Structures are given as structure tokens and as C-alpha cells.
Amino acid sequence: VNVRARAKRGEGERLRPEIVEAGMRLLLETGDEEAVTIRAVARAVGVSPPSIYLHFPDKGALLLAVCEETFATLDDHIERAVAGIDDPMDELRARGRAYVDFGLENPEHYRILFMTRPTDSHPALTPQEALASGAFVHHLEAVQRAVDAGVLPPEVDPLLAAIGLWSGVHGITSLLIAKPDFPWPDRDQLVDHVLTTLVRGLVQGA
């Protein structure tokens, strides 16, 4: 079992990020949201269960903090993947691929963000937070740029198109995560197919 040196006076806040990070690690290692319990997180940090309550009012608040951290990580992952891409269409594709990649590399993180209904012990970001989140705003802006550049026709509603593209990549990601044993076609081929088909449909749009 882990043991952790007690923080010095005034450095109590050091424990909080360690707790969130332990939650992230447990999700990755166990691949099971249910493994992220107060007791398991405390064990992973090397601290007793009641210590968690010095930094979070309850389990839901802890999970919410893990979600926020994951959201930031997702945004970061995508922004890195598209850095330096100029062509708006290439960028849209690269965004889609990076999104799916993140989901499949971190399936349980993806699951707590996008595949679970909010409950008492697992609160969601508010709609405002979600809309304003980096990843969504960046995606929406990328669609807008494609319209502005004339790559997508001007009649395209950027918000609807953005959500449609999101649905497509989310559909693939979540099905691959939820049904790993289904005889899927090659993942990249599937992603390319859906992205290409959707984009072509948008380009040819009335």
C-alpha cells in the first residue's frame, strides 16, 4: 500500500490535484468507472478515506473534477493534432480522427464524458460549461472557418453541421467502445468513410 508524506503547514492544497490525478489513473488502469471509489482513490494516493473530504464535499464533486480534467485533456489532444494544418477540410478530418483516437485510447474517460447520464453521484457539466468548453468551441470555429473559406457552401448552418459531424464521430467512438467484440470493419476505414461521407454531403448540400 502507498504511503504519502503529510504536507507541511499551508500546503494542504497539494493533496487536491493528487486526488484528481489518482482518479484519472484509476480510470485508465481499471477501465471501469465503478473502480473509482472514495476508498480506492484514497488508497491510490496513500491517504485515508476521510482525507478526501477535506477537498471534496462528496463523491460527485470528485468525479466532476475528473470530468473537467478529462475535458481539458481532450481539447489539448485535438489542438495538438491539428496544429499547423492550414486546409480547413484537412483540419476537419484531422479533428475527427483525433477525437476518435482519444476516445479509443481512453475509453473509460470517454465514457464518463459522453456515455453516462448525469446522476447524483456523477454530476454533469452544465450546458453552459459544455457549450463553452474548449473542445466544442474549437470544433465549431473550425466548421465556421470552412464556411468562410468557401470550402463548405454558405447555406450550411455551422452549429447544425458541427453537431452533425460530432454525432458521426461520437457514434463511431462510442460503438467501438461499447461493443468491442462486434466484427467492425477497420477502424480508420470506418472513420474515414463517415467523415468523408458527411463532409461530401455538406459540400453538395442544397
Q: Which of 115, 134, 140, 158 binds a second copy (CB under 8 A)?
A: 115
Sign of the CA dihedral with 19 first, then 81, 198, and 204 last:
positive
Grid cell at residue 95: 479533428
Grid cell at residue 70: 478529462
Those residues whose C-beta lies under 8 Å from the C-beta of residue 46, and which sit 6 or more positions away, are 1, 2, 3, 4
Q: Which of 93, 109, 111, 139 binds a second copy (CB under 8 A)?
A: 111
One symbol per residue from 36 to 75: x for binding DNA (CB under 7 A), - otherwise; what is it? -xxxx------xxxxx-xx---xxx---------------
Q: Which of 54, 131, 137, 149 binds a second copy (CB under 8 A)?
A: 131
127 binds DNA (CB under 7 A): no
Length, in residues, of the chain: 206
One symbol per residue from 142 to 181: x for binding DNA (CB under 7 A), - otherwise; what is it? ----------------------------------------
Q: What are phi and psi of 133, to 5 degrees?
A: -65, 150
132 binds DNA (CB under 7 A): no
12 binds DNA (CB under 7 A): yes
CB 36 within 8 Å of CB 66 = yes
| 180 interacts with, out of a second copy, DNA, none, CB within 5 to 8 A per kind | a second copy
Please, what's the b/e burial string for 25-46 (b: 16 or more CB within 10 A of its CB; e: otherwise)? ebbeeeeebeebebebbbbbbe
Question: Of 6 and 117, which CB lies nearer to DNA in the complex structure?
Answer: 6
| 44 interacts with, out of a second copy, DNA, none, CB within 5 to 8 A per kind | none
12 binds a second copy (CB under 8 A): no
The rounded distance, in Å, linking the Cα atoms of 31 and 106 is 8
Q: Using CB under 8 A, which residues numbered 142 to 161 contact a second copy?
A: 159-161
